[in-house]
Amino acid sequence: MTNPRDLPAVDSLLQHKQAAELVAEYGRGQTLNAIREELAALRESMLAGEEITLPKNGGILEAAKKRLQKQFQPTLEAVINATGVVLHTNLGRAPLSTVDMQQLAVLLSSYNTLEFDLESGKRGSRSVHAEALIRRLTGAEAALVVNNNAAAVLLALSALSKGKRAIISRSQLVEIGGGFRVPDVMRQSGAKLVEIGTTNRVNLQDYEEALEEPSALVVRAHHSNFKLVGFTHEPDFAAIVKAAHARGVPVLDDLGSGALLDTSRYGLAHEPMVQESLAAGADLVCFSGDKLLGGPQAGILVGKADLVAKVKRHPLARAVRADKFCLAALAVTLEHYLKEEAERAIPIWVMISAPLKQLEKRARHWQASLGAGEVVESVSTVGGGSLPEETLPTYALALRPPKLAAFQKALRQMSPPVIARVENDQVLFDPRTVLPEQEGALLVGLANALAMGAGGRFKKEEQE
């Protein structure tokens, strides 16, 4: 059939029971659009000369339903991270604990005291909810929370060095994920960027010579997701601070990852800690909330009270302020640090501190449950622009499907989707980053993918 006039009218399709069900679920406007789009597609095919078998009304409505399901399919959904990358940027970095989320659900599904003082009955400040906790944890005089660390850096530079000199080593003019470049942010703030040293080496004398001219700020930026190795040198941070303070110039330390615990306790390289930077004399320190701190996306600025106050007064501060979810989630995360229970309550620290024997036990349980695969020694990584090249020993379940791409696609189509990593034609599933409450769903997803044949089911004994 090739005559568009044979297509049913929209009004006649809307009389069907199935159309009423679609209206009830998706709304009349969206249902109308889906029906019209389906009729338009059929009409276009007919006008192109294609021979079309006109589906019955129910067939057109079923096609419209599929269109609606696709349109309303969320693009942001929960997944199972079996990659072994603890702070996987593409998968949302640090997850919050289910206990914390239950607490937040009660708070955020109600009106709350975001900017209301219960004692006085008057308007309060949103800054009180997390900043007192931050000050207690770090020992800083004052704190400010904004929506991410890039905003914290931009805000501090805009408030303190617009139109003035800001000194930074060339070895720290880094670019991190998403195209965030330190020199671009500094220029955007209006600061006059003063580069010192060389790509691989900067000496204290370079800072001292640059400070001979009036300057507003000395900036140190953590290398974040790369290492400088070989013929390199950077002066001790405390020495940089001393040289800057001798000229009356404050120092801003951009730490990025936001470590409040000593990572060397877990067999990793030592990541600079916020407390250490403040102890070394930094006037301002900024860091992320969703990296090694293990909380929501946030930018946190701590330091001298007068400087933080000046930053808070800048007009840009309102544009980048944190919302109620960020502040509430950050507060419950910080409380775990104060209670010295981070390793038990904050998911990323539970993962980082997981005993190797426990990881092996979980991997072998997966193997036994599926009757497939091989348990292999492997390594996990921290990720998220933190601790580059540092790894943690782990055990993983390895599957070697004959159709690798098809198997991975089948896993991504599971509910929830399963994301793993591939090494040497094997798909590895690392228990370090699989949340305990997701383990059952993981095993169901793997069993289904194997049963579908996309992975080519193979028995344990066939590996031996």
* pTM (predicted TM-score): 0.88
Arithmetic mean of pLDDT, 232-251: 95
% of the chain with per-residue pLDDT over 90: 73
pLDDT digits (tens, 9 = 90+) for 89-122: 999 999 999 999 999 999 989 999 999 999 899 9
According to the model, what pLDDT value does residue 54 have? 67
Residue 461 pLDDT > 50: no
Domains of the chain: 4-72 (no CATH), 80-89+348-463 (3.90.1150.180), 95-345 (3.40.640.10)
**pLDDT score for 402:** 85
Q: Tokens in use for 197?
A: 């040293």
What is the structure's pLDDT at 319? 95
pLDDT band of 386, cuts 50, 70, 90: confident
Please provide the average confidence, as pLDDT, over all residues in the chain.
91
Which pLDDT band, with edges at 50, 70 and 90, does 223 fall under?
confident
Which helix (DSSP H) or strand (DSSP E) does residue 80 occupy?
A: strand 80-81
pLDDT at 463 over 70: no
pLDDT tens across 128-166, in order? 889 999 999 999 999 999 999 999 999 999 999 999 999
The predicted structure's pLDDT at residue 367: 97
Residue 41, number of CB atoms within 10 A of its CB: 12
So what's the pLDDT on residue 314? Answer: 96
Tell me the C-alpha distance between 319 and 147, whole Å.
9
> pLDDT: is 284 or 53 the higher one?
284
* Beta partners for residue 175, in sequence order: 181
pLDDT for 239 beyond 90 = yes
The CB-side HSE value for 234 (13 A sphere, CA atoms) comes to: 19
pLDDT for the residue numbered 464: 37
Angstrom distance (rounded) from CA 115 to CA 129: 9
Residue 172 — very low, low, confident or very high, per pLDDT cuts 50/70/90? confident
pLDDT at position 373 is: 94
Of the pLDDT bands very low, low, confident and very high (cuts 50, 70, 90), residue 454 is very low
Radius of gyration (C-alpha) of the chain in whole angstroms: 28
Do residues 432 and 354 touch, judged by C-beta distance below 8 A? yes
**Dihedral over alpha carbons 167, 169, 170, 173 (to 10 degrees):** -80
- The two tokens of residue 154 are 């931009």
